[in-house]
Chain A
Amino acid sequence: MTEPLLRIEDLHVTFSTRQGLVEAVRGITVSLEPGEMLGLVGESGSGKSVTGFATTRLLDPAGRVTRGRVLYRGQDITRIPDSDFRALHGAAMSMIFQNPRAALNPIRSVGLQIVDAILSHKRMSKQAAADEALKLLRAVQIRDPEKRMSAYPHELSGGMCQRVMIAIAISCNPMLLIADEPTTGLDVTTQKVVMDLLAKIAAERGMATILITHDLGLAAQYCARVVVMEKGRLVEEAPPETLFHRPQHDYTKRLVAASPTASSRIEDLVTEEERGQYLAALAASRPRPEPPPGTPPLLDVRNLAKRYDQGPPAVANFSMTMKAGESVGLVGESGSGKTTTSRMICRLIDASEGEILFDGESIGQVPAREFHRSPHRKDIQIVFQDPNESLNPRFTAFDCVAHPLSRLSGMRPGDALRQRVEECAMRVGLPVELLSRFPHQLSGGQKARVGIARAIACRPRLLVLDEPTAALDVSVQAVVLQLLDRLRREDHLALLFVSHDLNVVRMMCDRTIVLRNGGIVEAGESRALFDHPESEYTRALVDAVPHIRSAGTPRLIEGQLT
């Protein structure tokens, strides 16, 4: 019986903060076999990253291990002196981090940083180390490695920086690699490249890996075993198959339900027990009345383009139409121009070329700085990405929702205004008592609801949603998506859903437009587009989305398909 490579026993980690002592990890016990890839999954505040940092002795100075121990190859390493631990750092265990560009020394060339890592544990000449570094760059699939040796981090893309980080981490052949959210913030295609590389390297070198992530699908695709954490405790531990299809713990069930997959529907996002309200609303909504023939579409965009000072246009030749009550998804990776397009459509910036017609009237001609006076301003509203940034910190929740009412609908402070604000709050599921609170006193989900309440206050006809759930925990996201869909059906609201998350878009939108480098690659009915993509780029995007291999997916075992 081989002993596990790593064993964490009843680990407790406490942080001293301004508000007193906070226990981030409350007794977690987990083992890792040599060569195994373990997924550590949880939402914000689950303590997953803290566990990783505690294991590698990289905790913030305010944090301490208060109980429990960490055993590496049977040896207790929890409390050995720092000088002894240094021998382990890099040579026995390594770590890669969330923001790869920030994790590299900005004023030192990438090659030198790898050489530094090599020379910290091995004795060799500078030239030999440089050769080693070159080999490592090749191993992590960096093109033109000779040129990249002298490059600086700011000259490399996010994906390349992460691969350099991997090169640094494996330079001294550690047996254990801890990856803390290594692909958060990277485009989905880059994410696939980096994760595939990581899996390949781990398999080649027999290196055990702990993948810390909030993305259940990611963990399910790459890990042999997944551990779920909630509020500092281990909640469930199982192979991904079992976790997805037969979750035991309540929290796991909610998490699995809320993680959108390629085939989930909106009502699947919450567990059976909580579905009631949503299904009732679905039943109660009337179907959208068909507008008389000859009516112009709600939104008609023709040949929209945006050019900045130099370089290629940010958006070129963008055209689309939308009907009342329809939901359209706008997907693309970073640099695709989706955010610029959405800003042009809701008239916050001006287009360089093209026409925007709303209800047949041209709104593109009105310059963005004058649009606040146009009567159409209240017809097009926007919900923003980061709830932490989308509310004025000096306004209470009530003020946030009341502001557009007073500016655009001309309502004076008084009973009518208060009633309307409370009505909006109730519709988005925000308890009325919370209206007097300031944003910093609200949770992420509550702030998201305030943002939505503000957007629907003036009864808009088109709602532009700019990655509205990207910054939310997956369980909160589930609730917000259901809310948005319900509002759409009740108010016949048209939704323009801008996102990079393909699963969410497939679920929420009737039609989808795929953007790349400012141009439309493909457009069509969502389900058809994702199930049978026509263009290669769309196919690559769909393939890159991490998913659990379902029971029906063929698996390669010893060269034979089963």
Chain B
Amino acid sequence: MKSFGATMMRAARRFASSLPALFGVLVFTFLLMRVLPGDPAVFFASGPNAGKEEIEVIRKQMGLDKPIPEQLVHYLYDVGRGNLGKSLMTGQSVTTDLRERLPASLELTLTALLIALVSAVPLGVIAALRPGSIIDHGVRLFCALGVCVPTFVSGLLLIYVFYYLLGLAPDPTGRIDVFTSVPPSRTGFLTIDFLLAGDLDGWWVAFRQLILPAVTMALFVIAPLARITRASMLVSLGSDFVRTARSVGLSWWRIVVTYALRNAILPVITIAGIVFSTMLGANVLVEKVYSWPGVASYALDALLSSDYAPVQGFVLLMASIFVVVNLLVDVLYGIADPRVSI
């Protein structure tokens, strides 16, 4: 295990090298606004019926009459200050909207990731330990089928089975039903907030609403995670150093866990990072199916009603999360694998 200082150095280095990517996204969205059909000033104004003078004022404010590079600087300054424009739909600033809705998306995605990891990794490991067995064939079959089913289809079918046929799941719209009141917001994660407020009934309602969408999203990634865990574990178990461990008479537990599994986990860390980024995209689908009030459905609704400022804000937000997640995975991997240089 590396020293804390070395890890911090590594994190700083990786962050520095991901800044160009972030900058690239900023420039990209900037160009996006310039290419958009219509007048950017209108998006930042108070509404489509804003008066001509107001639009002119905004245009001067945004510096749309200035040369492009100067506009870029202006734009970067705005973004740095947190000014992402105003949404025509909600009438609020985009930053506020995003801040309100981000916890919902994060709660969904993180819960899904947790469910996926807790199911996929043990499945993959067991399948690798018993190659050719029923479990192994079952896992492989599941993986082969799992990557083929689109998320939105599995979500809708889950609703059909658990809500319509079995009546176990609640009405698949939103995070809580109309009867329960929202707890005081501490983290924005309803499940946690309810627990913190000691409201167990509320927690149960929130949990029931969360389960189906989280499982839908998790299903989407269990298959690739299990598959990579199984493959990685197989490679690890067949490697030279495991053979050495056997030749010296190490116990089964030590061979499988300390030698094989710890090595096998490394590629899984990398894949988990990629999977999380994919889930950021799948968010759009799941939030649509379950009418989950997250940032993705917000941006989608905005896009389809030609309200472009939220879309820009959403892209920026997703890109930033993406970069941060990559960074975290990188640092985590650097801690786990001593071969990786700082």
Contact = CB atoms under 8 A, between A and B. Distances in A.
Q: Give yes or no for direct A-B contact (beta carbon below 8 Å).
A: yes
A107 B338 contact: yes
Given A103-B240, A108-B258, A120 B248 contact: yes
B245 interface: yes
Contacts of B241: 102-106
A355 B339 CA distance: 40
A120 B254 CA distance: 9
A102 B240 contact: yes
Contacts of A116: 245, 248, 250, 254, 258
B239 A102 contact: yes
A256 B99 CA distance: 80
B243 A87 contact: no
Interface in A78-102: 86-91, 94-95, 97, 99, 102
A120 B250 contact: yes
A168 interface: yes
B247 A56 contact: yes
Given A107-B263, A116-B254, A94 B245 contact: no
A154 B248 contact: no
A58 interface: yes
B249 A89 contact: yes
The list of the 4 closest CB pairs from A to B, nearest first, reads A89-B249, A90-B249, A90-B248, A102-B240
A89 B336 CA distance: 29
A89 B242 CA distance: 13
A165 B266 CA distance: 24
B321 to A, nearest CB: 29
B251 interface: yes
A121 interface: yes
Contacts of A94: 247-248
B259 A105 contact: yes
18 contacts: A58-B243, A87-B249, A89-B247, A89-B249, A95-B247, A97-B244, A103-B240, A103-B244, A105-B259, A106-B241, A106-B338, A108-B262, A116-B250, A116-B258, A117-B250, A120-B248, A121-B249, A172-B249
Given A58-B243, A104-B241, A108-B258, A171 B339 contact: no
B337 interface: yes
Nearest to B132: A61
B246 interface: yes
Interface residues of B, number: 22
A104 B259 CA distance: 10
Contacts of A105: 241, 244-245, 259, 263
A121 B254 CA distance: 13
Chain B interface, DSSP helix/strand/loop, else mixed: helix
A89 B339 contact: no
A169 interface: yes
Nearest to B244: A103
Contacts, number: 78
Interface in B239-293: 239-241, 243-251, 254, 258-259, 262-263, 266
A168 B263 contact: no
B248 to A, nearest CB: 4
Interface string B83-103: 000000000000000000000
B244 A104 contact: yes
A45 B245 CA distance: 26
Contact of A89 (B240, B248, B337, B338): B248
Given A106-B263, A107-B263, A99 B240 contact: yes
Contact of A120 (B251, B263, B266): B251
Nearest to A154: B339
A244 interface: no
Contacts of B339: 106-107, 152, 154
A107 B336 contact: yes
Given A106-B339, A107-B338, A97 B243 contact: yes
Contact of A90 (B247, B259, B263): B247
Interface string A56-82: 101000000000000000000000000
Contact of B249 (A91, A152, A154, A165): A91
Contacts of B251: 86, 120
A172 B250 CA distance: 12
Nearest to A151: B338
Given A106-B339, A152-B338, A117 B240 contact: no
A502 B249 CA distance: 40
Residue in A107, A116, A165, A168 whose Cβ sees the most chain B Cβ within 10 Å: A107
A92 to B, nearest CB: 9
